A and B are shown apart, each in its own frame.
Chain A
Amino acid sequence: MDLNFTPEEQDFRTEVRNWLADNLPEDLATKTRNDAPLTKDDMVRWQVILNDKGWLTYGWPTEFGGAGWGPVKQFIFEDEMARACAPRILPFGLKMLAPVLMKFGSKEQQDHYLPRMCDGTDWWCQGYSEPGAGSDLASLKTAAVRSGDHYVVNGQKTWTTLGQYADWIFCLVRTSKEGKPQEGISFLLIDMKSPGIEVRPIRTIDGGHEVNEVFFTDVKVPAENLVGEENKGWTYAKYLLTHERTNIAGVGKSNQELDRLKALARSQKRGGKPLSEDPLFAARMARVEIDLMNMEITNLRVLAEAEAGGVPGPESSMLKILGTEIEQELTDLTRRALGRSATALTPEVDEPGYNGPHVAPEGFNNATGVYFNHRKTTIYGGSNEIQKNIITKMITGL
């Protein structure tokens, strides 16, 4: 066994690291490090910088203009991005829709949509979840009825992440009520400017606005916006989900959060001594650090298998559970490390022009908000309970 990356992979890591040091705007890194909300402009700005370098579509095959990197290089790239506190690349267009279009879309759809999602022309959001269809996605009800050369869409989507900025939404819609619930679903691309679409913000417990409800009332969608075949959308949706999981464990992000927590624990005092020397707190930090060390190897094992051509089965569900639980534990410890100052509701402190009191150390003014925000990670992307069902089903065959 050899736990080291190859010299070529290590050189690649250095190249990415150096490039990020030179090209990642400091203001974006600071915002990301401090978990401050990023504006649409922030996200698009970073996307354009990456696109100019040719690294935005790093997961795409070369025939579609991607970098053509294998799983290991993609992992290294994402790891370095997380360590450098680069804003995350929104997955909806580039990582979710793009692979579906490449595999199942028409030539026209590929030629039209793929370049536009790279240069920032189109902001995509995802229309999967519905109020009655969360983890049980197949029970979705939003209906698309064919009428001449278009579909008429009625229904409601929810938890639409950053849908407030979106130009387009890719939706799973019901085109048939025959057979099993999975059999009557189609995959439709819908222009958010279409008449009959209404986006309503959902304010989350941390006070933020990340997710939305999207209502469709007699929305006319051209028939050519159907991806693949009618009633085959479930197949495409499942294909999309396998592409959602390349770096699901978030090792880089959690390592960065752990470093930040350790620095905080060294600067905070309890009983006149650094909090990092408090036995109980040190034990809590050590436990999550060890779990993270183990998960890093677990992730690399899955990666090595993927690089050799294996398709991750229950492993990606395992990584999702481990990754999200570790992430949540870290946000919990960061909140605790702040003691009483974690109670102040001052998320705007780090914004320009703020003139009020400073309670928590710089960069940690929204730590409790971040903690509450991270409760979502064990719920979204198929709740951790659903992942456990998948693991046992795949391993026991029951």
Chain B
Amino acid sequence: MDFTHTDTRRMLADTIERYLRDKYPLAPRVEAGNAAPGFQPAHYEGLAELGVIAALFPEDQGGFGGEGFDIAVVFEELGKRLVNEPALDNALVPGPILAAAGKMDAVEEIIAGSARYALAAEEPQAFYDLTEVETKAVKSGDGYALSGTKSVVKYASGCAGFIVSARTDAGISLFLVAPDAIELREYNTVDGGQACEITLDGAPGEMLVEDGASALDAASGRAIVALSAEALGIMATIREMTIDYLRQRKQFGVPIGKFQALQHRMAEMLLEIEQARSAVINAAAALEKPQPERDRVLAATKYSIGRIGRLVAEESIQMHGGIGMTWEFDLGHFAKRLILIDHEWGDQDFHLARFINASRAA
């Protein structure tokens, strides 16, 4: 049993931390997150140069990591500084799918930060279930023609290509679609970022992966580890901000942290954050485990992050009082991202049901 990271991962975390501390203040991030393209491309390239993206890929795909704990280390650091660069949506998720299809040039560009791809898998009626697919792909000449709608595709504008899930005779398959064949409707998200609704009307697609359901499941596992670690990083920052506030803010002549009502809320939050950390460790270690254990642990983790994330967001705002409600004060931006993480890749109820099913199969 050893709960310390390897030296390489610790150095990676330090490198990211230093870069972000020196170059990534919150105010421009918030501003960028509320305009197009929803992030700061210079920082995305900067992070790629540091090897942040390469750390998310195994050596045979051109990276130097790719394991659960590599993903966790990177995203925890990004979470601490509330980074909204599309490392998850445009690299971690699409990269391995392209690699599985042999598109190694695209993977190389992704790792270098010079091209971005997006997965368009969720549909308006799907409610987190990526096997709820109505988009259809029909044979057309050498390739396929895709028709349907996809919702909340994050950081889609400016992407070099889209990986679109669609029904075929074989089931659900994944296709590569060029951006000019797709109609995008862009909008900003509550947590500061950008997403698109997508319409495909006979868009030409190239088959990437025939067994799309398995590929989506694998992608979902990586995304859950990343998002959960990001949430943990956010919680770590909120924890520090709230402790500082309890020490500094005075009411009735004493620091508010002297009041037992707040102490007990804080204690609850602190111990739940430790539980969240345990959940992330569990998920990172389980990513390569066989089914149904892998599913069970990933579902347990995303459920835990959803439940605890909401607690930490709500309690920290409450403890900060009015100031916690303001746009100007940093806390609220962290809280918003924490809440929205529950809406990505399945919320706590979705994963509780998934946990129950996986437990039954165990």
Interface residues of A (CB under 8 A from B): 1-6, 9, 72, 282-283, 286-287, 289-291, 293-298, 300-301, 303-305, 314-315, 317-318, 321-322, 385, 387-389, 391-393, 395-398
Query: Min CB distance, B171 to chain A, in Å?
Result: 27
Contact A294 B275 (CB under 8 A): yes
Q: List 21 A-B contacts (CB under 8 A).
A: A1-B3, A3-B3, A3-B281, A3-B285, A4-B1, A72-B1, A283-B356, A290-B300, A293-B297, A294-B278, A296-B278, A297-B279, A297-B281, A301-B274, A301-B277, A322-B271, A388-B264, A392-B263, A393-B263, A395-B266, A398-B247
Task: Give Cα A129 to B218, complex, Å.
Answer: 55
Q: Which residue of A lies closest to B264 (CB)?
A: A388
Task: Give Cα A289 to B358, complex, Å.
Answer: 13
Top 6 A-B residue pairs of the complex, sorted by shortest distance between their CB atoms: A297-B278, A388-B267, A392-B263, A318-B271, A398-B257, A391-B267
One of A304, A388, A392 near B3 (C-beta < 8 A): A304
Contact A1 B355 (CB under 8 A): no
- B contacts with A: majority SS: helix
Q: Which residue of A lies closest to B276 (CB)?
A: A294
One of B1, B257, B359 near A286 (C-beta < 8 A): B359
Contact A286 B355 (CB under 8 A): yes
B268 interface residue per 8 A CB criterion: yes
- Chain B residues near A305 (CB-CB < 8 A): 3
B103 interface residue per 8 A CB criterion: no
Contact B275 A291 (CB under 8 A): yes
What is the 8 Å Cβ interface bit string for chain B, positions 254-288, against chain A (1 contact, 0 not)? Answer: 01011010011011101100111111011011000
Given contacts A2-B1, A298-B275, A396-B257, contact A387 B352 (CB under 8 A): no
Task: Give Cα A398 to B300, complex, Å.
Answer: 34
- A contacts with B: majority SS: helix
Q: Which residue of A lies closest to B266 (CB)?
A: A392
Given contacts A3-B285, A294-B275, contact A396 B352 (CB under 8 A): no
B69 interface residue per 8 A CB criterion: yes
B303 interface residue per 8 A CB criterion: yes
- Chain B residues near A398 (CB-CB < 8 A): 246-247, 255, 257-258, 263
- Chain B residues near A303 (CB-CB < 8 A): 1
Task: Give Cα A297 to B280, complex, Å.
Answer: 10
Task: Give Cα A282 to B359, complex, Å.
Answer: 10
Query: Min CB distance, B20 to chain A, in Å?
Result: 23
- Chain B residues near A2 (CB-CB < 8 A): 1-2
One of B255, B257, B260, B303 near A290 (C-beta < 8 A): B303
Query: Min CB distance, A86 to chain B, in Å?
Result: 24
Contact B69 A396 (CB under 8 A): no
- Chain B residues near A314 (CB-CB < 8 A): 270
Contact B274 A397 (CB under 8 A): no
Contact B275 A295 (CB under 8 A): yes
Task: Give Cα A99 to B200, complex, Å.
Answer: 73
- Chain B residues near A388 (CB-CB < 8 A): 263-264, 267-268
Contact B270 A318 (CB under 8 A): yes
Contact B356 A286 (CB under 8 A): yes
Contact B69 A298 (CB under 8 A): no
Query: Min CB distance, B264 to chain A, in Å?
Result: 5
Q: Which residue of A lies closest to B303 (CB)?
A: A290
Contact A385 B264 (CB under 8 A): yes
Task: Give Cα A6 to B2, complex, Å.
Answer: 9
Task: Give Cα A305 to B285, complex, Å.
Answer: 19
Query: Min CB distance, B274 to chain A, in Å?
Result: 5
Which chain B residues (39-72) contact chain A, with CB distance < 8 Å?
69
Contact B274 A298 (CB under 8 A): yes
Which chain B residues (133-172) contact chain A, with CB distance < 8 Å?
none
- Chain A residues near B276 (CB-CB < 8 A): 294
Contact A289 B243 (CB under 8 A): no
- Chain B residues near A391 (CB-CB < 8 A): 266-267, 270-271
Contact B304 A1 (CB under 8 A): no
- Chain A residues near B18 (CB-CB < 8 A): none
- Chain A residues near B284 (CB-CB < 8 A): 1
Contact B352 A283 (CB under 8 A): yes
B4 interface residue per 8 A CB criterion: yes
Contact B1 A3 (CB under 8 A): yes
Most buried by B among A5, A388, A397: A388
Which chain B residues (1-24) contact chain A, with CB distance < 8 Å?
1-5
Task: Give Cα A286 to B277, complex, Å.
Answer: 19
Contact B282 A396 (CB under 8 A): no
Given contacts A286-B355, A293-B300, contact A300 B1 (CB under 8 A): yes
Contact B260 A389 (CB under 8 A): yes
Task: Give Cα A391 to B269, complex, Å.
Answer: 11
Contact B246 A290 (CB under 8 A): no
Query: Min CB distance, B300 to chain A, in Å?
Result: 4
Q: Which residue of B lies closest to A393 (CB)?
A: B263
- Chain A residues near B352 (CB-CB < 8 A): 283, 286-287, 290
Query: Min CB distance, A246 to chain B, in Å?
Result: 16
Contact B267 A1 (CB under 8 A): no
Contact B278 A396 (CB under 8 A): no
Q: Which residue of B lies closest to A318 (CB)?
A: B271
Given contacts A298-B274, A301-B278, A385-B264, contact A396 B247 (CB under 8 A): yes
Contact A395 B243 (CB under 8 A): yes
Contact A1 B270 (CB under 8 A): no
Contact A1 B243 (CB under 8 A): no
- Chain A residues near B2 (CB-CB < 8 A): 1-2, 304
